[in-house]
Structure 1
Amino acid sequence: MAKKPVTSRRGRFFKLAGMTASVAGQYAGQRARRLFRSENDEGAQSESYTRMADQIADTLGELKGAVMKVGQIASQTQDFLPKEFSDALEKLQKEAPPMPFEVIVGQIESELGKPVSELFEYLQETPYAAASIGQVHRARLHDGTDVIVKIQYPGVDESCDSDLKQLRMALRLGGLLKMPKESVDRLFAEIRERLKEELDYENEARNIELFREFHKDQPWVLIPSVAKSHSTRRVLTMELVEGDHVSKVTRDRYDQDTINLIGHRIFMLMADQLFRFQCIHGDPHAGNFAYRPDGSIVMYDFGCVKKLKPEIIAAYRNALVSALEEDYEALDRHLIDLGARVGSQPAVDEAYYAMWRDILVVPFEDREVPYNFAEADIHKRVAEKTSTVFKYLDYFKPPVESIFIDRMIAGHYWMLKRLGVQAAFREELERYLKA
């Protein structure tokens, strides 16, 4: 029999508190047993971690919301938690167990104030997609319009802060956190800020209209429109606009020229949002984009949008120009303007900048010969050099204002790689930098 979902704030608190007490008890027992072993039994420790991790992953998957979002992020972060924990959380990244249909119907009727039968010609029971803070169902309006309905799970927004505090306590008492307190503070603060935005579907509706206006002169950018009559803070109804997930962009339907065209258009999307609109789609993972064989790109999920200050855009542009021209003295100044460099520290060794430039600028080196993103190994080369960061640890700081830019670029790098794009972007980049 399926478990009854926990949707009240009180119920979520007790569920998490029970998990925390259990994990803390297991950790205490593990430490006590170590005292009676002559050697550190790594097998026993790994087994204990696996038990704790499975229990936490099961609880987070059941509760969803803020705690599941942390679990998804943790599963991708090597230095956050022990390997056993990250492995157990991978299932949260791959599949979010759906909420029972009667709970979804209750949430829709509570938000929109009418029975589902009056609101829709039909509402498909099987979810179109399920995620951490809500799930999506296909439906049809009574006027015949096919739509998707995004429904926020009950209790998620009211419980966000207490959920995060309780999960953090569980990880700390279970001896699972592997990061300094300051890093944990920053991580949880970022998750909280992002979640608050994502939990407001009215804010997302405004973002959708904003980006539809941005891209109105680019017919190859497809952004679903909002059905305002069927949308609230916790329910968002949009026209159904379908495309192929990146995993479905196969050679039998997409030739290399079409893939390259899509690659150029992805680059234009990024550059236009950054340099022309100064407002970016801040969550560029594979599930938020789809493609069509005519080269069109479909964009979904505008819960995470970052509006950028003009001075940040100017500093970012200047830093890119300096890097391309190998003017490292100017690059150092512009990174200070960007908020990435501590201005009170002396200038950074130019050889250090040159090392990173030679890694990161590779796709833009040649004006004529296309760069093959399918064979790109920039991520591996960056990983090999991360140890050099410690030498200049006091010289740099997290660039708070531009962190979403870096996230956008990294997300689209992986998209271009998965698509197998072959393209030379240097001339396009220079046009945007001169504009």
Structure 2
Amino acid sequence: MAKKPVTSRTGRFFKLAGMTASVAGQYAGQRARRMFRTVDDEGARSESYTRMAGEIADTLGELKGAVMKVGQIASQTQDFLPKEFSQALEKLQKEAPPMPFDVILAQVESELGKPVGELFEYLQETPYASASIGQVHRARLHDGTDVIVKVQYPGVDESCDSDLKQLRLALKLGGLLKMPKETVDQLFGEIRLRLKEELDYENEARNLKLFHEFHKDQPWVVIPEVVDSHSTRRVLTLELVEGDHVSKVTPERYSQDTLNEIGHRIFTIMADQLFRFQCIHGDPHAGNFAYRPDGTIIMYDFGCVKKLKPEIVEAYRKALIAALDEDYQALDQYLIDLGARVDNQPAVDEAYYAMWRDILIIPFLNDEPYDFAEADIHKHVAAKTSTVFKYLDYFKPPVESIFIDRMIAGHYWMLKRLGVQAAFRSELEKYLRG
């Protein structure tokens, strides 16, 4: 029998508090057992991580909302979390349990002010997709237009702040937050702001129209149209636009040439949003993109959009030029301008910058196509993360550019999963040097 959904703030708090207590107890027990071992038992540690991760993922999937969204963001970090957590949290991208249909119906009728039968010719009971803060159902308007209806889960917006506080405590007590408090404060603060925007579907409707305008001269970018008459703050109705999820992009239907063209188009979308529009799609995971064999790219979910300050974009551009040119003195200054470097600390050792530059520049080294299917940049980055502690006092999280970094990382994983083979150096140079 399906569990009754937890929609009250109190109910959510107790559910998360129970998870936190369990995870903290498991972590404490694991540490105690390690103290009495003569050798580090990797198998026992992995088993403990798997148990904790499974419990966190199951709870976040059941509760939806802010905590599930943060879980999805964490899953995208891949090698930066213990692999057991990445694997468990990755389920939240595609295996979230659906909300009962009667809850969805009540929310639709409450928001749109009419019985569902008056609003739609039909509203399909089986979810078209389940997301972190809402569920999507296929429907048809009475004029015959096929649409999807995105319905926000009840109680999610009211419990956002308490959910985030509780999840942060669970990660801390589970030994997973190994960052300075100031870093965690800023990271969760930025996530909270973006979530507040995402919880407002009227804001998402405005974003959809804005990005339509951005990409109007690129017919290979498809963004669904908003049906204003059937949309409110918690219900968003869009035209039905379908394509293939990345898992369905197979060699039988997509040639390597098509994949490479899609790769160049993904790069153009990303660079245009960053350097031309100065406004980026901030949630670039696989579920928010679809593809067609003619090279079309479909973009979904514009709840998380980050408008960038011109001075941040300019500092980012200059920092990239300095890195490409191996001008590490200039790079140090531009990172200060970007808000990533503490300005009252002495200059960072150029060899440290050179190490990171040599890892991250690999796809842009020359005009030879780079095979993203074989890309292992993330592994090189993970292997060097311990070096960050040496310069912990020199750097701070650049809140304004956190979502730029997230966008770039999300696109890296898309290019890798698609198996794109492409050279982007000359394209990057055009955006950087005009």
- TM-score normalised by length of structure 2: 0.89
CA deviations 1:51-105 (Å, max 9, x no partner) are: 6655544333222112223333445567998776666545334410000111101
CA contact (8 A) 1:81 1:176 kept: no
Say whether 1:188 aligns with 2:167: no
The offset of 1:21, in angstroms, is: 5.7
CA contact (8 A) 2:150 2:236 kept: yes
Q: Structure 1 residues 106, 186: closer, same or farther in 2, change over 3 A?
A: same
Structure of greater Rg: 1
| 1:100 alignment partner in structure 2 | 100
| 2:59 alignment partner in structure 1 | 59
Q: Structure 1 residues 433, 259: closer, same or farther in 2, change over 3 A?
A: same
Cα RMSD, aligned residues only: 2.9
| 1:428 alignment partner in structure 2 | 427
- TM-score normalised by length of structure 1: 0.89
Larger deviation, residues 230-239 vs 353-362: 353-362
Q: Aligned to 1:179, what secondary structure does the other structure show?
A: coil
Q: Structure 1 residues 373, 273: closer, same or farther in 2, change over 3 A?
A: same
Q: Structure 1 residues 33, 263: closer, same or farther in 2, change over 3 A?
A: closer
Percentage of identical aligned residues: 83
The offset of 1:269, in angstroms, is: 0.5
Q: Aligned to 1:109, what secondary structure does the other structure show?
A: helix
Alignment of 1:208-287 (within 5 A): 208-287=208-287
Question: Which residue identity does 1:309 align to in structure 2?
Answer: K
| 1:387 alignment partner in structure 2 | 386
Q: Structure 1 residues 24, 421: closer, same or farther in 2, change over 3 A?
A: closer
Aligned counterparts of 1:253 and 1:31: Cα–Cα separation in 2: 48
Q: Structure 1 residues 411, 32: closer, same or farther in 2, change over 3 A?
A: closer
Aligned counterparts of 2:358 and 2:79: Cα–Cα separation in 1: 26
Aligned counterparts of 1:139 and 1:56: Cα–Cα separation in 2: 33
CA contact (8 A) 1:120 1:139 kept: yes
Say whether 1:376 aligns with 2:372: no
Q: Structure 1 residues 309, 47: closer, same or farther in 2, change over 3 A?
A: closer
Q: Structure 1 residues 140, 258: closer, same or farther in 2, change over 3 A?
A: same
Alignment of 1:33-112 (within 5 A): 54-75=54-75, 88-112=88-112
Question: Which residue identity does 1:257 align to in structure 2?
Answer: D
Question: Which residue identity does 1:354 align to in structure 2?
Answer: A
| 1:400 alignment partner in structure 2 | 399
Aligned counterparts of 1:70 and 1:350: Cα–Cα separation in 2: 34
Aligned counterparts of 2:329 and 2:359: Cα–Cα separation in 1: 19
Q: Structure 1 residues 323, 14: closer, same or farther in 2, change over 3 A?
A: closer
Say whether 1:309 aligns with 2:325: no
CA deviations 1:203-236 (Å, max 9, x no partner) are: 1111100000000111111000100111111111
Aligned counterparts of 2:241 and 2:83: Cα–Cα separation in 1: 39
Q: Structure 1 residues 130, 315: closer, same or farther in 2, change over 3 A?
A: same
The offset of 1:31, in angstroms, is: 9.1
Q: Structure 1 residues 152, 25: closer, same or farther in 2, change over 3 A?
A: same
Aligned counterparts of 1:383 and 1:22: Cα–Cα separation in 2: 28
Number of residue equivalences: 431
Question: Structure 1: any 5+ residue segments left out of the alignment?
Answer: none
Aligned counterparts of 1:48 and 1:320: Cα–Cα separation in 2: 41
| 2:412 alignment partner in structure 1 | 413
Question: Which residue identity does 1:122 align to in structure 2?
Answer: Y
Question: Which residue identity does 1:393 align to in structure 2?
Answer: L
Q: Aligned to 1:219, what secondary structure does the other structure show?
A: coil
Q: Structure 1 residues 74, 222: closer, same or farther in 2, change over 3 A?
A: closer
| 1:118 alignment partner in structure 2 | 118
CA contact (8 A) 2:79 2:382 kept: no
Aligned counterparts of 2:44 and 2:430: Cα–Cα separation in 1: 59
